[in-house]
Protein backbone atom coordinates (compact mmCIF):
# COMPACT_ATOMS: atom_id res chain seq x y z
CA UNK A 1 0.00 0.00 0.00
CA UNK A 2 1.43 3.48 -0.83
CA UNK A 3 2.63 5.34 2.31
CA UNK A 4 -0.01 8.05 1.89
CA UNK A 5 -2.70 5.40 2.19
CA UNK A 6 -1.54 4.01 5.55
CA UNK A 7 -3.91 6.13 7.63
CA UNK A 8 -6.78 5.84 5.16
CA UNK A 9 -8.53 2.77 6.61
CA UNK A 10 -8.79 4.50 10.02
CA UNK A 11 -10.20 7.66 8.40
CA UNK A 12 -12.75 5.72 6.39
CA UNK A 13 -14.26 3.90 9.35
CA UNK A 14 -16.29 6.70 11.01
CA UNK A 15 -17.55 7.89 7.61
CA UNK A 16 -18.79 4.43 6.72
CA UNK A 17 -20.29 3.76 10.16
CA UNK A 18 -22.22 7.03 10.31
CA UNK A 19 -23.46 6.64 6.75
CA UNK A 20 -24.67 3.09 7.40
CA UNK A 21 -26.46 4.01 10.65
CA UNK A 22 -28.54 6.54 8.74
CA UNK A 23 -28.93 4.91 5.32
CA UNK A 24 -29.10 1.16 5.95
CA UNK A 25 -32.10 -0.53 4.37
CA UNK A 26 -34.56 -2.10 6.77
CA UNK A 27 -34.07 -5.77 5.84
CA UNK A 28 -35.71 -8.50 7.93
CA UNK A 29 -32.43 -10.26 8.79
CA UNK A 30 -31.03 -6.95 10.07
CA UNK A 31 -33.56 -7.00 12.89
CA UNK A 32 -32.04 -10.07 14.49
CA UNK A 33 -28.76 -11.25 15.99
CA UNK A 34 -29.70 -14.91 15.58
CA UNK A 35 -26.67 -16.40 13.75
CA UNK A 36 -28.88 -19.06 12.13
CA UNK A 37 -31.17 -16.42 10.61
CA UNK A 38 -28.16 -14.38 9.42
CA UNK A 39 -26.51 -17.51 8.01
CA UNK A 40 -29.65 -18.39 6.01
CA UNK A 41 -29.82 -14.84 4.64
CA UNK A 42 -26.14 -14.90 3.62
CA UNK A 43 -26.50 -18.21 1.79
CA UNK A 44 -29.65 -17.04 0.00
CA UNK A 45 -28.00 -13.75 -0.97
CA UNK A 46 -25.17 -15.51 -2.82
CA UNK A 47 -25.85 -14.89 -6.54
CA UNK A 48 -29.31 -13.51 -5.69
CA UNK A 49 -30.68 -10.00 -5.25
CA UNK A 50 -32.01 -8.69 -1.93
CA UNK A 51 -35.54 -8.07 -3.18
CA UNK A 52 -35.78 -11.64 -4.48
CA UNK A 53 -34.46 -13.11 -1.23
CA UNK A 54 -36.82 -11.34 1.21
CA UNK A 55 -39.95 -13.51 0.64
CA UNK A 56 -37.85 -16.69 0.50
CA UNK A 57 -36.13 -15.83 3.78
CA UNK A 58 -39.43 -14.97 5.49
CA UNK A 59 -40.99 -18.24 4.35
CA UNK A 60 -37.93 -20.27 5.39
CA UNK A 61 -37.77 -18.73 8.89
CA UNK A 62 -41.50 -19.37 9.38
CA UNK A 63 -41.30 -22.99 8.23
CA UNK A 64 -37.89 -23.86 9.71
CA UNK A 65 -37.29 -21.43 12.59
CA UNK A 66 -34.42 -23.34 14.24
CA UNK A 67 -31.23 -25.11 13.24
CA UNK A 68 -32.78 -28.42 14.34
CA UNK A 69 -35.74 -27.78 12.01
CA UNK A 70 -33.36 -27.25 9.07
CA UNK A 71 -31.35 -30.35 10.04
CA UNK A 72 -34.46 -32.57 10.19
CA UNK A 73 -36.45 -31.23 7.21
CA UNK A 74 -37.19 -33.69 4.39
CA UNK A 75 -35.29 -33.10 1.11
CA UNK A 76 -38.66 -32.43 -0.59
CA UNK A 77 -39.48 -29.66 1.88
CA UNK A 78 -36.01 -28.10 1.64
CA UNK A 79 -36.05 -28.02 -2.16
CA UNK A 80 -39.60 -26.68 -2.26
CA UNK A 81 -38.61 -23.82 0.09
CA UNK A 82 -35.65 -23.07 -2.18
CA UNK A 83 -37.59 -23.47 -5.45
CA UNK A 84 -36.90 -20.44 -7.65
CA UNK A 85 -33.70 -19.34 -5.89
CA UNK A 86 -31.47 -21.58 -8.04
CA UNK A 87 -28.01 -22.96 -7.20
CA UNK A 88 -29.57 -25.77 -5.18
CA UNK A 89 -26.25 -27.09 -3.88
CA UNK A 90 -26.55 -24.20 -1.43
CA UNK A 91 -29.61 -25.64 0.29
CA UNK A 92 -28.21 -29.17 0.46
CA UNK A 93 -24.99 -27.82 2.00
CA UNK A 94 -27.02 -25.73 4.41
CA UNK A 95 -28.75 -28.85 5.67
CA UNK A 96 -25.46 -30.76 5.98
CA UNK A 97 -24.05 -27.89 8.04
CA UNK A 98 -27.21 -27.74 10.20
CA UNK A 99 -26.87 -31.48 10.86
CA UNK A 100 -23.20 -30.99 11.83
CA UNK A 101 -24.18 -28.20 14.23
CA UNK A 102 -26.74 -30.48 15.86
CA UNK A 103 -24.22 -33.36 16.07
CA UNK A 104 -21.11 -31.43 17.09
CA UNK A 105 -22.33 -28.24 18.81
CA UNK A 106 -25.55 -29.41 20.53
CA UNK A 107 -27.58 -27.47 17.98
CA UNK A 108 -26.06 -24.12 18.99
CA UNK A 109 -24.47 -22.10 16.18
CA UNK A 110 -20.69 -21.98 16.89
CA UNK A 111 -19.13 -18.63 17.67
CA UNK A 112 -15.53 -19.33 16.71
CA UNK A 113 -14.54 -18.28 13.18
CA UNK A 114 -12.70 -21.56 12.57
CA UNK A 115 -15.69 -23.63 13.67
CA UNK A 116 -17.97 -21.62 11.38
CA UNK A 117 -15.53 -21.92 8.47
CA UNK A 118 -15.43 -25.70 8.96
CA UNK A 119 -19.14 -26.01 8.16
CA UNK A 120 -20.14 -27.30 4.70
CA UNK A 121 -20.94 -24.54 2.22
CA UNK A 122 -19.37 -21.75 4.30
CA UNK A 123 -16.30 -20.03 2.87
CA UNK A 124 -14.16 -17.23 4.22
CA UNK A 125 -16.57 -14.48 3.15
CA UNK A 126 -19.68 -16.13 4.66
CA UNK A 127 -17.87 -17.06 7.89
CA UNK A 128 -16.71 -13.43 8.21
CA UNK A 129 -20.19 -12.11 7.50
CA UNK A 130 -21.85 -14.36 10.11
CA UNK A 131 -19.19 -13.82 12.78
CA UNK A 132 -19.18 -10.04 12.35
CA UNK A 133 -22.95 -9.51 11.97
CA UNK A 134 -24.13 -11.99 14.61
CA UNK A 135 -21.25 -11.79 17.12
CA UNK A 136 -19.56 -8.46 16.24
CA UNK A 137 -16.20 -10.20 15.72
CA UNK A 138 -13.66 -8.17 13.73
CA UNK A 139 -13.70 -10.73 10.90
CA UNK A 140 -13.22 -9.24 7.42
CA UNK A 141 -15.45 -9.85 4.40
CA UNK A 142 -14.64 -9.62 0.71
CA UNK A 143 -17.23 -10.26 -1.99
CA UNK A 144 -17.95 -8.61 -5.35
CA UNK A 145 -19.49 -5.50 -3.78
CA UNK A 146 -16.65 -5.02 -1.30
CA UNK A 147 -14.01 -5.62 -3.99
CA UNK A 148 -15.60 -2.90 -6.13
CA UNK A 149 -15.73 -0.42 -3.26
CA UNK A 150 -12.15 -1.07 -2.08
CA UNK A 151 -10.50 -1.13 -5.50
CA UNK A 152 -12.12 2.21 -6.28
CA UNK A 153 -11.40 3.89 -2.94
CA UNK A 154 -7.75 2.76 -2.98
CA UNK A 155 -7.27 3.02 -6.76
CA UNK A 156 -6.18 -0.62 -7.12
CA UNK A 157 -5.66 -1.25 -10.84
CA UNK A 158 -4.53 -4.88 -10.59
CA UNK A 159 -7.00 -7.71 -11.21
CA UNK A 160 -8.57 -8.63 -7.82
CA UNK A 161 -8.50 -12.31 -8.80
CA UNK A 162 -4.69 -12.28 -8.79
CA UNK A 163 -3.37 -13.88 -5.61
CA UNK A 164 -1.31 -10.94 -4.33
CA UNK A 165 -4.04 -8.38 -5.08
CA UNK A 166 -6.69 -10.55 -3.49
CA UNK A 167 -4.55 -10.90 -0.34
CA UNK A 168 -4.09 -7.12 -0.29
CA UNK A 169 -7.85 -6.58 -0.49
CA UNK A 170 -8.45 -9.03 2.37
CA UNK A 171 -5.86 -7.15 4.39
CA UNK A 172 -7.60 -3.82 3.73
CA UNK A 173 -10.96 -5.33 4.69
CA UNK A 174 -9.38 -6.64 7.90
CA UNK A 175 -7.84 -3.27 8.77
CA UNK A 176 -11.19 -1.56 8.33
CA UNK A 177 -13.14 -3.95 10.52
CA UNK A 178 -10.38 -3.97 13.15
CA UNK A 179 -10.45 -0.16 13.35
CA UNK A 180 -14.23 -0.32 13.69
CA UNK A 181 -13.83 -2.30 16.91
CA UNK A 182 -12.09 0.73 18.49
CA UNK A 183 -14.25 3.43 16.91
CA UNK A 184 -16.12 5.80 19.18
CA UNK A 185 -19.59 5.17 17.93
CA UNK A 186 -22.08 6.74 20.32
CA UNK A 187 -22.73 9.54 17.85
CA UNK A 188 -25.13 7.65 15.65
CA UNK A 189 -27.32 6.16 18.40
CA UNK A 190 -30.96 6.50 17.43
CA UNK A 191 -33.59 5.39 20.00
CA UNK A 192 -36.32 5.55 17.37
CA UNK A 193 -34.53 2.99 15.16
CA UNK A 194 -32.77 0.73 17.65
CA UNK A 195 -32.07 -2.00 15.08
CA UNK A 196 -29.71 0.35 13.23
CA UNK A 197 -28.39 2.38 16.10
CA UNK A 198 -24.63 2.31 16.01
CA UNK A 199 -23.10 1.16 19.27
CA UNK A 200 -19.84 -0.37 20.36
CA UNK A 201 -21.39 -3.83 20.39
CA UNK A 202 -22.30 -3.69 16.71
CA UNK A 203 -19.53 -1.55 15.18
CA UNK A 204 -17.79 -4.48 13.40
CA UNK A 205 -21.15 -5.72 12.14
CA UNK A 206 -22.03 -2.25 10.86
CA UNK A 207 -18.66 -1.66 9.25
CA UNK A 208 -18.87 -4.85 7.19
CA UNK A 209 -22.49 -4.21 6.31
CA UNK A 210 -21.65 -0.61 5.35
CA UNK A 211 -19.20 -1.90 2.72
CA UNK A 212 -21.82 -4.28 1.32
CA UNK A 213 -24.50 -1.59 1.43
CA UNK A 214 -22.33 1.08 -0.18
CA UNK A 215 -21.54 -1.34 -3.02
CA UNK A 216 -25.22 -2.20 -3.45
CA UNK A 217 -26.69 1.32 -3.25
CA UNK A 218 -24.04 3.93 -4.12
CA UNK A 219 -20.85 2.42 -5.53
CA UNK A 220 -22.70 0.39 -8.15
CA UNK A 221 -20.97 -1.33 -11.09
CA UNK A 222 -22.25 1.27 -13.56
CA UNK A 223 -22.89 4.96 -12.86
CA UNK A 224 -21.88 5.07 -9.17
CA UNK A 225 -23.41 7.98 -7.27
CA UNK A 226 -20.10 9.52 -6.22
CA UNK A 227 -21.56 12.93 -5.42
CA UNK A 228 -23.60 11.54 -2.53
CA UNK A 229 -20.98 9.01 -1.43
CA UNK A 230 -19.78 9.39 2.18
CA UNK A 231 -16.17 8.55 1.29
CA UNK A 232 -15.75 10.55 -1.92
CA UNK A 233 -13.10 12.81 -0.40
CA UNK A 234 -10.88 9.79 0.22
CA UNK A 235 -11.68 7.95 -3.01
CA UNK A 236 -8.96 7.65 -5.67
CA UNK A 237 -11.34 6.53 -8.44
CA UNK A 238 -13.56 9.57 -7.86
CA UNK A 239 -10.66 12.03 -7.71
CA UNK A 240 -8.99 10.59 -10.82
CA UNK A 241 -12.21 9.89 -12.74
CA UNK A 242 -11.44 6.15 -12.94
CA UNK A 243 -14.70 4.65 -11.73
CA UNK A 244 -15.36 3.03 -15.12
CA UNK A 245 -12.05 1.24 -15.26
CA UNK A 246 -12.16 -0.11 -11.67
CA UNK A 247 -12.33 -2.84 -10.65
CA UNK A 248 -10.17 -4.38 -13.36
CA UNK A 249 -11.87 -7.75 -13.75
CA UNK A 250 -10.07 -8.80 -16.94
CA UNK A 251 -11.85 -10.30 -19.91
CA UNK A 252 -15.11 -12.12 -19.29
CA UNK A 253 -15.40 -15.70 -20.47
CA UNK A 254 -17.63 -15.82 -23.55
CA UNK A 255 -21.14 -17.19 -22.98
CA UNK A 256 -21.94 -20.60 -24.48
CA UNK A 257 -25.33 -21.23 -26.08
CA UNK A 258 -27.07 -24.55 -25.32
CA UNK A 259 -30.38 -25.82 -26.72
CA UNK A 260 -32.75 -28.34 -25.18
CA UNK A 261 -36.04 -29.88 -26.30
CA UNK A 262 -38.54 -30.83 -23.59
CA UNK A 263 -41.65 -33.03 -23.94
CA UNK A 264 -44.66 -32.22 -21.78
CA UNK A 265 -46.35 -35.58 -22.14
CA UNK A 266 -49.97 -35.87 -20.99
CA UNK A 267 -52.12 -38.93 -20.37
CA UNK A 268 -55.62 -38.57 -18.91
CA UNK A 269 -54.84 -35.17 -17.35
CA UNK A 270 -51.55 -36.32 -15.79
CA UNK A 271 -48.02 -35.37 -16.86
CA UNK A 272 -44.83 -37.38 -16.93
CA UNK A 273 -41.99 -35.84 -14.85
CA UNK A 274 -38.64 -37.15 -13.69
CA UNK A 275 -36.56 -36.40 -10.62
CA UNK A 276 -32.91 -35.52 -11.21
CA UNK A 277 -30.51 -37.90 -9.45
CA UNK A 278 -28.00 -36.98 -6.75
CA UNK A 279 -24.64 -35.63 -7.86
CA UNK A 280 -25.81 -33.72 -10.96
CA UNK A 281 -26.72 -30.07 -11.47
CA UNK A 282 -30.15 -29.36 -9.94
CA UNK A 283 -30.07 -32.72 -8.14
CA UNK A 284 -33.37 -33.75 -6.52
CA UNK A 285 -35.44 -31.26 -8.55
CA UNK A 286 -38.21 -32.43 -10.87
CA UNK A 287 -38.34 -31.77 -14.60
CA UNK A 288 -40.13 -32.77 -17.79
CA UNK A 289 -38.21 -35.21 -20.02
CA UNK A 290 -35.74 -33.13 -22.01
CA UNK A 291 -32.75 -33.63 -24.26
CA UNK A 292 -29.85 -31.44 -25.31
CA UNK A 293 -30.06 -30.86 -29.08
CA UNK A 294 -27.18 -28.50 -29.84
CA UNK A 295 -26.69 -28.32 -33.58
CA UNK A 296 -28.74 -31.49 -34.20
CA UNK A 297 -30.87 -31.31 -37.35
CA UNK A 298 -33.28 -33.91 -35.87
CA UNK A 299 -36.91 -32.79 -35.83
CA UNK A 300 -38.74 -32.91 -32.44
CA UNK A 301 -40.98 -35.79 -33.63
CA UNK A 302 -37.95 -37.88 -34.64
CA UNK A 303 -36.25 -37.04 -31.35
CA UNK A 304 -39.34 -38.26 -29.48
CA UNK A 305 -39.37 -41.53 -31.47
CA UNK A 306 -35.65 -42.10 -30.90
CA UNK A 307 -35.82 -41.40 -27.16
CA UNK A 308 -39.10 -43.09 -26.23
CA UNK A 309 -39.16 -45.88 -28.82
CA UNK A 310 -42.70 -44.88 -29.72
CA UNK A 311 -44.29 -43.05 -32.61
CA UNK A 312 -45.00 -39.44 -31.79
CA UNK A 313 -48.58 -38.23 -31.68
CA UNK A 314 -49.18 -34.62 -32.70
CA UNK A 315 -46.59 -32.32 -31.08
CA UNK A 316 -47.88 -28.85 -30.21
CA UNK A 317 -45.32 -26.11 -29.45
CA UNK A 318 -46.00 -25.14 -25.80
CA UNK A 319 -43.43 -22.45 -24.96
CA UNK A 320 -39.78 -21.48 -25.21
CA UNK A 321 -37.89 -20.57 -22.05
CA UNK A 322 -34.58 -18.73 -22.16
CA UNK A 323 -32.40 -18.52 -19.09
CA UNK A 324 -28.77 -18.39 -17.96
CA UNK A 325 -26.84 -20.63 -15.61
CA UNK A 326 -23.29 -19.45 -14.91
CA UNK A 327 -21.78 -18.93 -18.41
CA UNK A 328 -24.45 -20.91 -20.27
CA UNK A 329 -27.27 -19.23 -22.20
CA UNK A 330 -29.92 -21.90 -22.35
CA UNK A 331 -32.91 -22.13 -24.69
CA UNK A 332 -35.49 -24.74 -23.74
CA UNK A 333 -38.15 -25.42 -26.34
CA UNK A 334 -41.13 -27.37 -25.02
CA UNK A 335 -43.73 -29.42 -26.91
CA UNK A 336 -47.02 -30.69 -25.55
CA UNK A 337 -48.37 -34.05 -26.64
CA UNK A 338 -51.03 -36.50 -25.53
CA UNK A 339 -50.34 -40.23 -25.44
CA UNK A 340 -52.91 -43.02 -25.40
CA UNK A 341 -51.11 -45.10 -22.77
CA UNK A 342 -48.22 -44.76 -20.36
CA UNK A 343 -46.09 -47.54 -21.85
CA UNK A 344 -43.20 -45.31 -22.88
CA UNK A 345 -39.59 -46.46 -22.73
CA UNK A 346 -38.56 -44.14 -19.95
CA UNK A 347 -38.62 -43.62 -16.22
CA UNK A 348 -40.70 -41.04 -14.37
CA UNK A 349 -43.96 -40.51 -12.54
CA UNK A 350 -47.33 -39.25 -13.75
CA UNK A 351 -48.78 -36.36 -11.76
CA UNK A 352 -51.86 -34.14 -12.01
CA UNK A 353 -51.31 -30.33 -12.21
CA UNK A 354 -52.23 -30.04 -8.50
CA UNK A 355 -49.64 -32.68 -7.62
CA UNK A 356 -47.03 -30.98 -9.82
CA UNK A 357 -47.63 -27.83 -7.83
CA UNK A 358 -46.34 -29.52 -4.68
CA UNK A 359 -43.04 -30.61 -6.30
CA UNK A 360 -39.84 -28.55 -6.52
CA UNK A 361 -38.86 -27.64 -10.10
CA UNK A 362 -36.04 -25.54 -11.50
CA UNK A 363 -37.31 -22.11 -12.63
CA UNK A 364 -37.37 -23.13 -16.31
CA UNK A 365 -39.37 -26.32 -15.70
CA UNK A 366 -41.68 -24.50 -13.27
CA UNK A 367 -42.70 -22.38 -16.28
CA UNK A 368 -43.36 -25.55 -18.25
CA UNK A 369 -45.50 -26.92 -15.39
CA UNK A 370 -47.58 -23.69 -15.38
CA UNK A 371 -47.96 -23.85 -19.17
CA UNK A 372 -48.97 -27.52 -18.91
CA UNK A 373 -51.66 -26.72 -16.31
CA UNK A 374 -52.98 -23.91 -18.53
CA UNK A 375 -53.07 -26.25 -21.54
CA UNK A 376 -55.43 -28.53 -19.62
CA UNK A 377 -57.61 -25.66 -18.45
CA UNK A 378 -57.87 -24.20 -21.95
CA UNK A 379 -59.20 -27.56 -23.21
CA UNK A 380 -62.17 -27.50 -20.83
Minimum CB separation from ligand SF4 for residue 223, in Å?
A: 10
Minimum CB separation from ligand SF4 for residue 239, in Å?
A: 9
Q: Which is nearer to ligand SF4, 14 or 224 (CB)?
A: 224
Q: Which is nearer to ligand SF4, 141 or 218 (CB)?
A: 218
Euclidean distance between CA atoms 17 and 203, whole angstroms: 7
DSSP state string for 7-45: THHHHHHHHHHHHHHHH----GGGG---HHHHHHHHHHH
Euclidean distance between CA atoms 101 and 119, whole angstroms: 8
Minimum CB separation from ligand SF4 for residue 238, in Å?
A: 4
Pairing assessment for the beta strands 270-275 and 256-267 based on DSSP bridges: antiparallel
Q: Could you tell me if 149 and 219 are in contact, meaning their C-beta atoms sit under 8 angstroms apart?
A: yes
Interface positions with ligand SF4 (CB under 6 A): 149, 152-153, 218-219, 224, 226, 229, 231-232, 235, 237-238, 243
Minimum CB separation from ligand SF4 for residue 219, in Å?
A: 3
Q: Which is nearer to ligand SF4, 19 or 304 (CB)?
A: 19
**Secondary structure class of 118 (helix, strand, coil):** coil
Q: Which is nearer to ligand SF4, 226 or 373 (CB)?
A: 226
Burial class of residue 183 (count of CB atoms within 10 Å of its CB; 0-12, 13-18, 19+): buried
Q: Which is nearer to ligand SF4, 61 or 235 (CB)?
A: 235
Beta bridge partners of 264: 336
Q: Which is nearer to ligand SF4, 182 or 240 (CB)?
A: 240
Active site residues: 42
* Torsion angles phi and psi, residue 338, rounded to 5: -110, 135
What is the DSSP secondary structure assignment for residue 351, as one 8-state letter? E
Q: Find all residues with CB under 8 Å of 167, minimum gap 6, and list them.
A: none
Q: Before 264, cis peptide (omega within 30)?
A: no
Q: Which is nearer to ligand SF4, 62 or 223 (CB)?
A: 223
Minimum CB separation from ligand SF4 for residue 149, in Å?
A: 6
Minimum CB separation from ligand SF4 for residue 222, in Å?
A: 11
Euclidean distance between CA atoms 304 and 306, whole angstroms: 6
Helices 35-45/89-104 angle, 10° precision: 160
Cα 363 to chain center, whole Å?
Answer: 14
C-alpha count within 13 angstroms, C-beta hemisphere, residue 334: 22
DSSP state string for 318-346: EEEEEEEETTEEEEEEEEEEE-SSS--SS
Give the containing element (helix H, strand E) for 124: helix 124-135
Minimum CB separation from ligand SF4 for residue 21, in Å?
A: 17
Amino acid sequence: MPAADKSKPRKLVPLLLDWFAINARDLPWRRTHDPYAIWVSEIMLQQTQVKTVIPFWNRWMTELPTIADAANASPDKLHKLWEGLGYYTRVRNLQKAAQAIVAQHDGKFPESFDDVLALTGIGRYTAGAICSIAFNHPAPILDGNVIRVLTRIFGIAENPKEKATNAWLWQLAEELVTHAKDAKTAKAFSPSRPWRSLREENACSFLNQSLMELGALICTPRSPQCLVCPVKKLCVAFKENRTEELPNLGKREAATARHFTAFVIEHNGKFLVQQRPAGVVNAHLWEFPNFETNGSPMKPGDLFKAQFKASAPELVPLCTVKHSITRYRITLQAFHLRVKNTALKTTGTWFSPAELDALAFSSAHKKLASAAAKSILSDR
